[in-house]
Amino acid sequence: ESGTIPSGVGFIGLGIMGRGMVARLLTETSAGSPNVPLICWNRTASKCQDLVDAHSDKNIVIASSPAEVVSQCCVVYSILSTPEASLSVFEATDGTLSGVHKYSAIIDCATLAESDMTRMAEQVKTRGGRFMEAPVSGSKGPAESGTLIFLCAGDRTVFEEVAVTAGLSAMGKASHFLNEAVGHGTRAKLVVNSLMGTMMAAYSEGLALSEAVGLPAEKMVEIIGQGAVASPLYALKGPKMIAGNHAPNFPLKHAHKDMALAKDMAAGAGAEYSVMNSAEALFRSARGGTLANEDFSAVHEVVKAVHEVASK
């Protein structure tokens, strides 16, 4: 290992979230400038080429492996869709971990199990690098508009680093440092997402009940939006649920993954969780059908189907 400090900013994972996030880094920070290459890698290599094509004026390098990204950067962001994908990319022979060096700051923005984050943190530290978990609250739209919320824990020096502060500010509207113990960011994210899924299930049942008793669905969405239970989530998703438009911003299978992880977390903590458990069961049944890749608002199709069966 040479003493030269790498100049690149790394990004691993160009899925629904990563694409929007990396675009913000390119347009709002020095990443992708002549002296600060943006070095990227994705399991589907064509998405890296799409990024290069979309930002032809930027200095973007497509790495051949996650290890190559890490070896050429001090700060590396990673956001992969599932714990399984994250593990395989992190621990592969040419994976993220194998590239870690003494200047490395690895920032993982995925929603994983707490045990996944703590294991990765220990592995990075063992190789002399620094690690911060920073799971994001927000979906495709906020990723593209730079209005994500970062829920951070781990190495505080990473959180306070100028380049990281600039990156998180470009990609998000808020960054919270919760604890130096890795896992607290994931805990916060699971609370947020399990509550969001539960709200979606409740709003769906309210909509289905409205229609079952002869109330106009659009009018009920308007009424709910004017009272104390108004929610940006329902204002956005209510009309789409009525229209049956579930184009994925946050795929249902990922929403359920987070709710299942939260259910396990609640059981481990001995916390009362019966309402959210019911919502998790509803999402589990939706995921088992044809709705897994639809937006998480598609849980409404399961709720409607229950009503339709009951009314026959």
By DSSP bridging, strand 73-78 and strand 8-12 are parallel
Residues classed as catalytic? 189
| pLDDT tens figures, 165-216 | 999 999 999 999 999 999 999 999 999 999 999 999 999 999 999 999 999 9
How many angstroms separate the CA atoms of 205 and 97, rounded?
45
Tokens 């795929």, residue?
251
Average per-residue pLDDT for the chain: 95
How many angstroms separate the CA atoms of 239 and 297, rounded?
10
Please state the φ and ψ torsions of residue 107, each to the nearest 5 degrees: -120, 110
Q: Is 214 left (phi over 0), alpha (psi -120 to 50) or beta?
A: left
| pLDDT tens figures, 261-311 | 999 999 999 999 999 999 999 999 999 989 999 999 999 999 998 867 666
Please choose, from the candidates 152, 151, 153, the residue with its C-alpha nearest in 3D space to the C-alpha of residue 182: 153
Reported as a pLDDT band with limits 50, 70 and 90, residue 80 is very high
Reported as a pLDDT band with limits 50, 70 and 90, residue 2 is low
Other Cβ atoms less than 10 A from the Cβ of 64: the count is 10
pLDDT exceeds 50 at position 1? no
Looking at per-residue pLDDT, the higher value among 1 and 305 belongs to: 305
pLDDT exceeds 50 at position 129? yes
| pLDDT tens figures, 95-104 | 999 999 999 9
Question: What would the DSSP string read from start to end of 118-166?
Answer: HHHHHHHHHTT-EEEE--EE--HHHHHHT-EEEEEEE-HHHHH-HHHHH
pLDDT at residue number 309: 67
pLDDT exceeds 70 at position 242? yes
pLDDT exceeds 60 at position 233? yes
How many angstroms separate the CA atoms of 262 and 266, rounded?
6
Mean pLDDT, residues 152-157 taken together: 98
pTM above 0.85, yes or no: yes
Mean pLDDT, residues 11-19 taken together: 96
pLDDT exceeds 90 at position 3? no
How many angstroms separate the CA atoms of 40 and 62, rounded?
5
Task: Give the SS3 label for residue 153.
Answer: strand
- What whole-number percentage of the chain has pLDDT above 70? 97
**Encoded tokens for 19:** 């694409």
Mean pLDDT, residues 27-50 taken together: 97
